[in-house]
Amino acid sequence: MATIGFDGSSLRKYSHGLVTWLTVLFLMVGIPSVWAEDADMAHGETPGVNEPVGNWKFRTDKPVKVVVIGGSVSAYTGGNFGDFLGNVCRNVEIVNRGKARYGAWALKQRFVAQVLKNRGIKLTDKAIQHWVIFQGGLNSVGTPEKTNKDLRELFVTAYNAGVRVVGLSLSPWGAEADKKRWSKTAGLKYKQYTQKVVDYVMGRLTPADAFGTYVERDRSLGWAEGELPTIAVDLYASGLRDKDAPLRNEKTVEKWVEQDTEIKKRLKSLPADEAVKEKQRIVDELRRIPQWFLRREYHAFDHIHPNREGHRIIAQTLCPKLPADWGCDCEALGTVNPLR
């Protein structure tokens, strides 16, 4: 039976070509939204704790071995980006170990358990390239600096074990119907949270900006080797994003800003001319937020999870950045059916 996935509003596992009764219920009446990790802890369960050690093996003699680690976007079973790449990269064997409901800390534990502690994977074999494609952190995006800290630890752990990392940023998400997180001025917070995690993966931040209070005492020398992905791919600004969505109505947004207690307090602390500019900046940012949502035609069953065609876009965005010795025919991604 399917269970609730990311943030109490998505399915943990969903079958290809089948709309379950639970999905129908979600679409009809909605399900209360809470962060998945918080919900599990409230029931005495913490994702990633006591993570079982992997006992699977790669099955081919292909020289590039790739493990997909991530949350429910990565775990999509209806033809995900790993399936697409596996069809067009002749030198690559891909195994997907994505897990729904897992935030950054839990995914770090999963990587260690499924890859590093897995006796079936021979990381010491120098004739084989080992890679992890990582895409996750949305389940913990409400604490972006801790999420970045946990992602850094995953990247460094992989680097120290000789595993190279393809880091995919968070993908676009959000909808006007998601009242808790995107209605009125709430969207400012979640857009900023998401952008901070995206910008860390893409190497656009200093350690102090990425980690905040989690930063080590002295990071004046910047990033050390292994703290950022070997290859970074920006999905947030990719073709998944609804960049041509209509702007929100300016007058409506101005009312939201004027009714927001925190914003009013912040503006009041500024000199008058600066307050006017800052208010307009906030209004403009709020008006543009729908342009950072996942395009409607790429929705699977909600505004967070891309469907098969959305995963095709992910693979097409990623493929040209992959090493030549993966042997990928990126042009073939336009027509390949990964489930055939």
Tens of pLDDT along 239-280?
999 999 999 999 999 999 999 999 999 999 999 999 999 999
Residue 301 Cα distances to 30, 37, 260, angstroms: 12, 21, 32
Pick the CATH number of 6-245+298-334 from 3.40.1190.20, 3.40.50.1110, 3.90.1150.10, 3.30.420.10: 3.40.50.1110
Q: How confident is the model at residue 54 (pLDDT cuts 50, 70, 90)?
A: very high
204 touches 269 (CB < 8 A): no
Residue 6: pLDDT above 60?
A: no
Q: What angle do CA 236, 241, 246 make, to 5 degrees?
A: 135
More confident site: 21 or 306: 306
Q: How confident is the model at residue 87 (pLDDT cuts 50, 70, 90)?
A: very high
Tens of pLDDT along 204-243?
999 999 999 999 878 888 999 999 999 999 999 999 999 9
154 touches 116 (CB < 8 A): no
- Judged by DSSP in three states, 104 sits in helix
Mean of per-residue pLDDT scores for the chain: 89
Model pTM? 0.87
Strand locations in the chain (E): 64-70, 92-96, 129-135, 164-168, 231-233
Q: Is 300 exposed, middle or buried (0-12, 13-18, 19+ CB in 10 A)?
A: buried
End-to-end CA distance of the chain: 25
Q: How far apart are CA 330 and CA 256, in angstroms?
A: 45
Q: How far apart are CA 174 and CA 180, in angstroms?
A: 11
Span 188-203, mean pLDDT? 98
Q: Which pLDDT does position 195 carry in this prediction?
A: 98
Q: Which pLDDT does position 45 carry in this prediction?
A: 60
Task: Parse the chain into domains and list their residue ranges.
Answer: 6-245+298-334, 246-292
Residue 27: pLDDT above 70?
A: no
85 touches 320 (CB < 8 A): no
Least confidently predicted of 34-43, 141-150, 212-221, 304-313: 34-43
Q: Taking each helix axis as running N to C, give the angle between helix 144-160 and helix 104-111, from 0 to 180 degrees, rounded to the nearest 10.
A: 10
Tens of pLDDT along 285-337?
999 999 999 999 999 999 999 999 999 999 999 999 999 999 999 999 999 99
Q: Is 328 left (phi over 0), alpha (psi -120 to 50) or beta?
A: beta
Residue 100: pLDDT above 80?
A: yes
Name the token pair of 305.
Answer: 């999870």
Q: What angle do CA 11, 149, 53 make, to 5 degrees?
A: 55
Q: Which pLDDT does position 2 carry in this prediction?
A: 33
Q: How far apart are CA 316 and CA 81, in angstroms?
A: 9
Q: Which pLDDT does position 216 carry in this prediction?
A: 83
120 touches 155 (CB < 8 A): no
Residue 198: pLDDT above 60?
A: yes
Share in percent of the chain as helix, strand, coil (round to 5): 45, 10, 45
Residue 203: pLDDT above 50?
A: yes
Q: Which pLDDT does position 217 carry in this prediction?
A: 77
Residue 153 CB coordination number (10 Å) = 16
Span 172-192, mean pLDDT? 96
Tens of pLDDT along 71-82?
999 999 999 999
Q: Is 327 left (phi over 0), alpha (psi -120 to 50) or beta?
A: left
In sequence order, what are the residues at sequence separation of 6 or more whose Cβ sits closer than 8 angstroms to the Cβ of residue 181?
A: 33, 174, 187, 190
Least confidently predicted of 45-54, 94-103, 282-291, 292-301: 45-54
Q: How far apart are CA 301 and CA 72, in angstroms?
A: 12
Q: How far apart are CA 269 and CA 179, in angstroms?
A: 29
More confident site: 46 or 232: 232
In the chain, DSSP finds a helix count (H) and a strand count (E) of 12, 5
Q: Report the half-sphere exposure of 213 (CA within 13 A, side-chain side).
A: 1
